């Protein structure tokens, strides 16, 4: 028999773990569901679920529903993250960049340090990061200025038993009733809180530490916060975002898609198809932008902000 080539072997070994990973995950899921169903049938757990139905009460006067600014920001957040994740993933692949960008060192902004050459995907990452951070700052300001923050920041300790209760309900496949219009369930509150107030700031702090042009300036931080440490945090944060998005979008679509999409895309709490239509249009915008931002287009845009040198292929 012919020996597999090195390429074929590495291709096989890369995907081979899936042969046992997928069945193991499925078996684990079945075990979790059966265990959760057995647990919630016991009198102790039944009374726990009655005491903690999965939602923690909101302070009096908490806002109801979704203002238009939140809907727009939610869309832009997802839109920018799409390209942040794409460029981050390519950077991690460590392929030789197809082009390099250099800041123009002229005019009013002359500095003594020579400009650093960065790969075109790092440029795209930083450009979309800047837009994402601006959107995020506006989101924070509006969240606290309008009182909307109480919906995604835990304010009572009973959010913990309620989150356990909601988790048990998901695991037993008897899902908590979706009522995101007035109050998220406690597990949602905690996950949104971690995403907005822990994962996002961590991505920003560790990301800034990794900016190639600032490496020298940050050198004094090396003993406590080296680029290695920053990268070791930055990447798991990306895994959190990717995992969050998969679970979030799956649950949005699986727990009353029409109502949920009306909440976040049309600002209404009814059974019309408007939210779904706007969501579908937003997906079209993202798909078009995904294909439109070809390397040549990214290079052209980058060229307007600095000097871009395209590398010969091969």
Binding site for ligand HEM (CB under 6 A): 70, 74, 77-78, 81, 84-85, 88-89, 91-92, 122, 125-126, 129, 133, 148, 151-152, 178, 180, 184, 192, 195-196, 203-204, 207-208, 210-212, 231, 234-235, 238, 241, 244-245, 248-249, 252, 260-261, 263-264, 279
Q: Closest separation between CB of residue 242 and ligand HEM, Å?
A: 7
Closer to ligand HEM by Cβ: residue 39 or 258: 258
Q: Closest separation between CB of residue 275 and ligand HEM, Å?
A: 8
Q: Closest separation between CB of residue 139 and ligand HEM, Å?
A: 8
Closer to ligand HEM by Cβ: residue 21 or 253: 253
The SS3 call for residue 153 is coil
Q: Closest separation between CB of residue 15 and ligand HEM, Å?
A: 21
Closer to ligand HEM by Cβ: residue 48 or 240: 240
| Phi and psi torsions of 69, nearest 5° | -60, -35
Closer to ligand HEM by Cβ: residue 44 or 145: 145
Assigned token pair, 108: 């009013």
Closer to ligand HEM by Cβ: residue 6 or 94: 94
Closer to ligand HEM by Cβ: residue 92 or 309: 92
Handedness of CA 72, 78, 79, 84 (dihedral sign): positive
Distance CA 29, CA 31 (A): 5
Query: DSSP label at 282?
Result: H
Q: Closest separation between CB of residue 279 and ligand HEM, Å?
A: 6
User: Which helix (H) or strand (E) covers residue 139, if one does?
Assistant: helix 120-146
Cα–Cα distances in Å, from 195 out to 67, 87, 118, 242, 243? 20, 20, 29, 11, 11
Closer to ligand HEM by Cβ: residue 263 or 299: 263
Distance CA 199, CA 190 (A): 12
Q: Closest separation between CB of residue 157 and ligand HEM, Å?
A: 21
Q: Closest separation between CB of residue 223 and ligand HEM, Å?
A: 20
Handedness of CA 100, 106, 109, 110 (dihedral sign): positive
Residues 6+ apart with CB under 8 A from 147: 61, 62, 63
Q: Closest separation between CB of residue 145 and ligand HEM, Å?
A: 13
Closer to ligand HEM by Cβ: residue 45 or 205: 205
Cα–Cα distances in Å, from 69 out to 83, 136, 198, 224, 272? 22, 12, 22, 39, 21
Distance CA 145, CA 129 (A): 24
């Amino acid at each position: 028999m012919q020996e597999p080539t090195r390429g074929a072997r590495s291709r096989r070994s890369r995907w081979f773990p899936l042969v046992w990973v997928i069945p193991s995950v499925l078996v684990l899921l079945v075990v979790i569901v059966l265990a959760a169903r057995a647990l919630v049938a016991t009198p102790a757990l039944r009374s726990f679920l009655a005491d903690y139905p999965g939602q923690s009460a909101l302070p009096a006067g908490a806002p109801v529903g979704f203002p238009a600014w939140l809907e727009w920001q939610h869309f832009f957040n997802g839109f920018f993250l799409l390209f942040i994740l794409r460029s981050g993933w390519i950077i991690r692949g460590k392929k030789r960049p197809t082009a390099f960008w250099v800041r123009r060192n002229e005019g009013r902004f002359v500095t003594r340090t020579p400009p650093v050459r960065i790969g075109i995907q790092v440029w795209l990452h930083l450009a979309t990061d800047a837009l994402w951070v601006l959107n995020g700052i506006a989101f924070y300001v509006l969240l606290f200025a309008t009182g909307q923050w109480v919906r995604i920041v835990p304010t009572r300790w009973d959010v913990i038993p309620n989150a356990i209760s909601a988790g048990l309900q998901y695991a037993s496949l008897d899902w908590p009733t979706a009522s995101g219009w007035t109050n998220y369930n406690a597990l949602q509150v905690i996950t949104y809180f971690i995403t907005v107030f822990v994962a996002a700031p961590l991505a920003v702090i560790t990301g800034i530490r990794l900016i190639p042009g600032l490496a020298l300036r940050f050198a004094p931080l090396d003993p406590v916060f080296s680029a290695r440490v920053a990268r070791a945090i930055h990447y798991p944060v990306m895994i959190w975002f990717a995992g969050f998005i998969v679970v979030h979008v799956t649950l949005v679509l699986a727990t009353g898609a029409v109502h949920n999409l009306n909440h976040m895309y049309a600002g209404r709490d009814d059974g019309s198809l408007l939210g779904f239509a706007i969501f579908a249009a937003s997906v079209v915008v993202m798909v078009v932008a995904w294909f439109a931002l070809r390397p040549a287009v990214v290079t052209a845009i980058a060229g307007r902000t600095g000097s871009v040198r395209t590398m010969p292929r091969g």
